[in-house]
Amino acid sequence: MFFRLRLILAILMAKAIIWLVRFAGRGKGSSLPGMVSLKICPGILAHLAGQVRRGVVMVTGTNGKTTTNNMIARAVREAGYRVVVNTEGANLITGVTTAFLKAASPVGRVDCDYALLEVDEASFPRISQQVCPRVVVVTNFFRDQLDRYGELDKTISLIEDALAGLPGTRLVLNADDPLVARLGAITGREVTFYGLGEHSGVSSHSTAAREGRFCPGCGRELEYAYYHYSQLGSYRCPGCGFSRPAAGVEGSHAFSSGGTTGCLLAYPGGSRELVIPVPGLYNLYNGLAAFTAALTLGLDPDRIIHALGGYTPATGRMERYRYRGRPVLLNLVKNPTGFNEGLHTLLTLPGPVDVLIAINDNAADGRDISWLWDVDFEMLGEQHHRVNQVFCTGQRGAEMAVRLKYAGFPLAKIHVQEKMHRAVRDVLAGNGSIAYLLTTYTALWPVERILRSCARRDGLENLPSVS
């Protein structure tokens, strides 16, 4: 009885906070309700998650969690199921709890077939213990916010140990990342691998910082037949024989066109063309992960393909806007690998491009911004003719400008603007063919609010072709 009273009080308090936050225009209240409810009733997440009828899917890894999770959610919804999902990427235990609270009745009932949860790597052990996932999707492992996560080995070990305590969980793993693929062997769980085969865009070498240079089993340097980006590719260890596993779901003949990315998709029992309405090879990996997870849940392949083809990006995940007839892209960047892929996408856009880079160093971004020196801004220096101008803003906008200077980017094209609203309006007023805005996490929301005040969300049909 005492638990029931605490449960109802926690839910009522959380729903009041959600309403107040929305009424005040401060967003959707993605973490505070969960924080308060967990203080009042510590067992609330396990209680609410225990009511999910068909199972919980957890998506974790360094990059692509929000996009992959929302793609899975779209496919599951279109198949006619009721879902709980933390759509906006609030992926700590407070945000996950809030997602359930929004779906709960005042007395703690949750009417839900699936819960689809993006989960922060460091929070994975605690959350997985409470929600007991049916499926866990792991996207990739890259170095990210060393001052918060520590070395990457520590993060991987946390997830390994947590998976060891989930005997009934099935894994969906990225075959092309040796750090992820190894989880299949060391956990002994049932696994479906997804990956991307060789295509015209692969490279014989990787210039990016590679977390998986050495074999995670024996420590010998891995040999690669080709790279997609960073450590993702076709690898084998000359020492212990560890190698890229065969992918049950594999893409081939990858392509980008008109703001879309796609490939030919082979899976058990058939093949289809997969096309997703967001540019970038890294987004194709998100689509492959989502397709594999949905297939693991037993969804019809044709329905999954259709759902992914209509996917709408979440805030800052290659989100499209239009300002006075000109396309605008908003993209979140938070570590060297993600930033590099964002820059690669920039250089495929029809130029010249007006660019904004907003760098903050709040706790959620990582206090240490030395990671900017691991980003390959030299590619912008080498192809600066494709960039009209770059506006640097945010708490560390000046340091960003210094990084561009040392990358060989022309000083005349670099502008430091301390006031973020001015920087956004300046990049929108540029005369390039497209405006491309790259922001760290806490800079994303103010930039997005400014953008919404003067531009409109755009549809895929208005995005220029990507070469």
By CB atoms closer than 10 A (0-12, 13-18, 19+), residue 148 is: middle
Q: How many residues does the chain have?
A: 467
Measured CA to CA, the distance from residue 254 to residue 261 in angstroms comes to 7
Angle between helices 65-78 and 281-296 (to 10 degrees): 40
Contacts of 439 (CB under 8 A, 6+ apart): 316, 330, 331, 332, 333, 356, 357, 358, 359, 394, 447
Cβ atoms of residues 155 and 335 within 8 Å: no
Measured CA to CA, the distance from residue 327 to residue 154 in angstroms comes to 41
Q: Which amino acid is at 104?
A: A
For the chain, give me the number of helices (H) and strands (E)?
16, 18
Q: How many CB atoms lie within 10 A of CB 352?
A: 18
Cβ atoms of residues 257 and 271 within 8 Å: no
Identify the residue whose tokens are 């605690």.
Answer: 126
- 300 catalytic? Reply is no
Given the residues 147, 302, 368, 426, select the one marked as catalytic: 368
Measured CA to CA, the distance from residue 442 to residue 393 in angstroms comes to 12
Q: Which residues pair with 445 in a beta bridge?
A: none
The angle at the Cα of 208, spanning 206 to 212, to the nearest 5 degrees, equals: 75
Active site amino acids: 368
